[in-house]
Amino acid sequence: MSSPLAPAPAPPSEAAEKVRAEVREFLAAEQAAGSFTTHVDTWLSGVDPAFSRKLGERGWLGMTWPKRYGGHERSAMERYAVTEELLAAGAPVAAHWIADRQSGPNLLKFGTEAQRQAILPRIAAGECFFVIGMSEPDSGSDLASIRTRATRNGAGDWVVTGAKVWTSNAHHSHYGIVLVRTAPVDPGNRHAGLSQLLVDLSLPGISINPIRILDGGHHFNEVVFDDVVVPGDMLLGEEGNGWQQVTAELAFERSGPERFLSTYPLLAEFGRRVVDSGDPAALATLGRLSARLLALRQLSLRIAAALDRGELPDIPAALVKDVGTTFEADVIEEIRRVVEVAPSLDSPDPLARALAEAQLHAPGYTLRGGTNEILRGIVARGLGLR
Amino acid sequence: MSDQDLVVETVRDILSAHEPFVLTPERPWDAELWSTLAEAGLTGVGLPEQAGGSGGEPADAVAVVRTLAAGAAAVPVAEQLLVAGPALVAAGLDLPPVDQPLTVAVEGAVHAEPVDDGDGPGRWTLTGTATDVAWAGVARHVAVLAAAPAGIEGAVLALVDAAGLAGSEARNLAGEPRGSLVLGGAPATGALLPPARAARVRARFALARAVQLAAALEQVLAWTVRYAGERQQFGRPLAKFQAIQMQLAQMAGEVTATGALVDAAVQALDRGEDVVLPAAAAKVRAGAAVEPVARLAHQVHGAIGFTQEHKLHHLTRRCWSWRDEAGSELTWARVLGVGLLADGGDALWPALTRVV
């Protein structure tokens, strides 16, 4: 069944199962060698450039892109299997996550040939990391209200002034795709006059200031642009087309398995505990949570298959992110109800640690990439209500 | 138009002349609708022609069941087409004529003893009480999953004639018959099923209810969206209020997630795979969607949806019962939990990716 809310079921993919097995083998070897330890929400917090390079060497970044840009021309279903395995293992994937998930596809769709040649092969190699430059101190859900401005100078370059916030891992990244206002606000069309710029974060005039999240971790930043001169050829796509480009980018940002697997490492730890205890109530909880996860997985697989067909499943992506991020937080409460455990980052008990990590990251699940209220508005549009 | 679309169109046409009604002990099912469906060959869809069915794929039978569930049709088609019929065929037993309603009984305490009457194997007597029997008193035949004789593993799937069986009446929250049947040495044809195959019969039943739930919940969402678009308050349709839009979007999330998993479980059934874990997952997910979807649907419909005058209750009352029928949500959640951990705690993820 296919509807505006859900694409048609994904056909089985042998290629995806093959690469899944390869990734599993790789992850087991890495864990055995002590290359990483499992954590919750590692696509935000697990920065490890060396690990990202290993994935690049194995052809697991830029998987769906053309080979002439360093890609591997594999299917979205194969990419889905790889990302899902990495997330389930709680592997450190944050360094390359944004670049591989959305900046690369955005460049592929809207970038100039020179931009693609210069950057995409480096992303696919796991050597070039990106940040998202959308939200600002005064612009969260109301993205069209951004105030960061870019104006052309006499040399045809862009001069950027303003600030972006919640820029995950800007302090480890090389570039940002920054949404800027390039024309004054048109009261009749507030989505007009926006553009995207490809900004080298090492340019003079850029300062990156940490914003610590609840557990004290430094992932977010404020990136301030003080008359930063960005070369004229670093416009991404068309001037004034920024809103349409951002919307397309968000479909990639919202559709993947990271929207329901952020707390999977906690569920995995709970599974180990349930095996030991055999508690029937806990077994039922594991079953209930698993059923929800399996449904989300089916939806996410359908979206991957839709991407393979060249569709832009923005409404299904909003729906799966709403349901998925609600699930991510519910995992914490459901487990607490059936296990005697107190969350602690310092505990020798891995379940207590995972619970603490999941809890302190929880407010973010239903905010990042578009709040669930914004997402439900998009779903309401899919229902014909807007 | 595919064959399946044609079948669905036919069922819809028939349903359009049969409005759902409040079921009572005097009128516990829609006998006229059943006759019409049977005359059109729709009570044999998915069952092999050589066994007396109408042929077609299991997916066609699922399509019929979905359409009837969304229409709150009071007929034992899910039990016949998705559970009892295929289980009898798989066990090599004869199907009763498909124009006579057939149901399945998996609960209670019934045991089977073989009869050595010189007619060869396959003759049994059933003794005990089958409880929570869907359409008890309505179904002409019952496929009973009975305990095997002492010392033998597995269960006996046996077909009994329901005529003349004593029992007690009971109904689910929607008034659908769910009584018990007393079997005092009732003669039956049957086959011994090993434990895994007996488990599959139960799983098929759970999947049938999950299919019905998914279809009913989808219809509840559609009704609620339509109502919100029509009902005017404060000078505009309810659907224009952001608070209502959030509720409808939340319902849509639950309905869509449920549908995706139930579809995947049905595909596993179609491929002939072992459906115990897919069915368990589908049943649990569908059951979990009932509370938010029914609650929000009633909230948006307001007081009129709380009356028997409005059609909403035909589906919400069914959903509130179906989620705990064919094995409760708790039972199937445990089955899923145990199944996923069968290879140990470290193997949970590989197990999850194998289910569907």
**Confidence class for position A198, pLDDT limits 50, 70, 90:** very high
pLDDT, tens digit, for every residue of B66-105?
A: 999 999 999 999 999 999 999 999 999 999 999 999 999 9
A181 touching B, CB under 8 A? Answer: no
Higher pLDDT, B282 or A255: B282
Do A287 and A351 have their domain in common?
yes
| Dist CA B297 CA B248 (whole Å) | 8
For residue A355, pLDDT beyond 70: yes
Quote the pTM value.
Answer: 0.97
Residue B132 phi, psi dihedral angles, 5° rounding: 50, 45
In this structure, the answer to whether residues A140 and A196 fall within a common structural domain is yes
Q: Residue A188 has which token pair?
A: 């009749």
In this structure, is residue A310 part of a structural domain? yes
Query: Which residue does chain A place closest to B337, by CA atoms?
Result: A287
Residues 59-88 of A with CB under 8 A from B: 84, 88
pLDDT score of B119? 65
Tell me whether residue A340 is one of the annotated catalytic residues: no
Interchain contact A32–B (C-beta under 8 A): no
* Chain A residues touching B282 at Cβ < 8 A: 291
pLDDT, tens digit, 9 for 90 and up, residues B2-38: 889 999 999 999 999 999 999 999 999 999 999 999 9
A252 band by pLDDT with thresholds 50, 70 and 90 = confident
Can you give the C-alpha Rg of chain A in angstroms? 21
Strands A194-200 and B102-105: unpaired
What's chain B's average pLDDT? 96
Do A138 and A238 share a domain, yes or no?
Answer: yes
Q: How confident is the model at residue A183 (pLDDT cuts 50, 70, 90)?
A: very high
- The string over B289-323, giving b where at least 16 C-beta atoms fall within 10 Å of a residue's C-beta and e elsewhere, is bbebbbebbbebbeeebeeeebebbbbbbbbbbbb
Closest residue in A to B228 (Cα) is A385
Does residue A189 sit in the same domain as residue A153?
yes
Residues of A in contact with B277 (CB under 8 A): none
Nearest to A280 among B259, B282, B334 (CB): B334
> Quick one: three-class SS letters along B90-149?
HCCCCCCCCCCCEEEECEEEEEEEECCCCCCCCEEEEEEEEECCCCCCCCCEEEEEEECC
pLDDT of residue A194: 98
CB contact under 8 A, B284 and A298: no
Answer whether residue A1 is part of any domain.
no
Q: Which residues of B touch A383 (CB under 8 A)?
A: 225, 248-249, 252
- Judging by DSSP bridges, how do beta strands B107-114 and B102-105 pair with one another? unpaired
A117: in domain: yes
Could you say which of A286, A295, A326 has the minimum Cβ distance to residue B337? Answer: A286
Domain annotation covers residue A9: no
Residue B121 has what pLDDT?
75
Q: How many CA atoms lie within 13 A of B250 on its CB side?
A: 21
Inside any domain, residue A161: yes
* A212 Cβ under 8 Å from any chain B Cβ: no
Query: Do B337 and A283 lie within an 8 Å CB cutoff?
Result: yes
- Tokens standing for residue B203: 């799983």
Which among A212, A227, A242 is the end of a domain?
A: A242
Question: Would residue A124 count as lying in a domain?
Answer: yes
**Which DSSP string do the residues of A103-135 spell out, in sequence order?**
IHHHHHHH--HHHHHHHHHHHHTT---EEEE--
**Which positions in chain B touch A267 (Cβ < 8 Å)?**
348
Angstrom distance (rounded) from CA B73 to CA A169: 56
* Chain B: residue whose CA lies nearest to A28: B346
Whether A287 and chain B come into contact, CB under 8 Å, resolves to yes
* Other residues' Cβ atoms within 10 Å of the Cβ of residue A226: 12
Q: Are residues A230 and A309 in the same domain?
A: no
Average pLDDT over residues A202-214: 97
Residue A5 lies in a domain: no
On whether both A117 and A214 belong to a single domain, the answer is no
Higher-confidence position of A104 and B3: A104
Look at strands B107-114 and B155-161 and give their pairing: unpaired
pLDDT of residue B164: 86
Domain CATH number, residue A137: 2.40.110.10
In a domain? residue A170: yes
The pLDDT tens digits of the residues spanning A215-230 come to 999 999 999 999 999 9
Calculate the alpha carbon distances from A83 to A44, A72, A207, A328, A339 in Å. Answer: 14, 15, 32, 17, 30
Q: Please tell me what DSSP assigns to residue A12.
A: P
Q: What is the mean pLDDT of residues A113-135?
A: 98
pLDDT at residue B55 tops 80: yes
Residues in A 256-275 with any Cβ partner in B closer than 8 A: 264, 267-268, 271-275
Residues of chain A contacting B280 with CB distance shorter than 8 Å: 287, 291
Residue A314 has pLDDT above 80, yes or no: yes
* Whether residue A230 is found in the same domain as residue A334: no
| Beta carbons within 8 Å of B317's beta carbon, 6+ residues apart | B173, B174, B175
pLDDT of B120 above 90:
no
A2 has pLDDT over 80: no
Average pLDDT over residues A88-116: 97
Cβ of A290 and B337 within 8 Å?
yes
Nearest by Cα to B340 from B330, B329, B326, B350 = B350
Domain that holds residue A121: 14-129
One-letter amino acid at A92 equals P
CA distance B18 to B30: 8
Domain boundary among A129, A145, A174: A129
| In chain B, % of residues over pLDDT 90 | 97
- HEC readout, A218-229: EEEEEEEEEEEE
Q: How many domains does chain A have?
A: 3
User: Measured in whole angstroms, how far is the alpha carbon of residue B316 from the centre of its chain?
Assistant: 15
Please write the tens of the pLDDT for every residue from B198-220: 999 999 999 999 999 999 999 99
Per-residue confidence (pLDDT) for residue A253, from 0 to 100: 86
- Asked if pLDDT for residue B310 goes beyond 70, the answer is yes
| Residue where the block lists tokens 């069986």 | B165
User: For residue A254, what pLDDT is reported?
Assistant: 87
- Write down the ipTM of this complex: 0.97
Question: Are residues A306 and A294 located together in one domain of the fold?
Answer: yes
Domains of chain B, CATH where assigned? 3-193 (2.40.110.10), 197-355 (1.20.140.10)
CATH of the domain at A91: 1.10.540.10
Q: Where is the domain boundary, A98, A129, A160?
A: A129
A326-349 confidence digits (pLDDT tens) = 999 999 999 999 999 999 999 999
Domain CATH for A314:
1.20.140.10
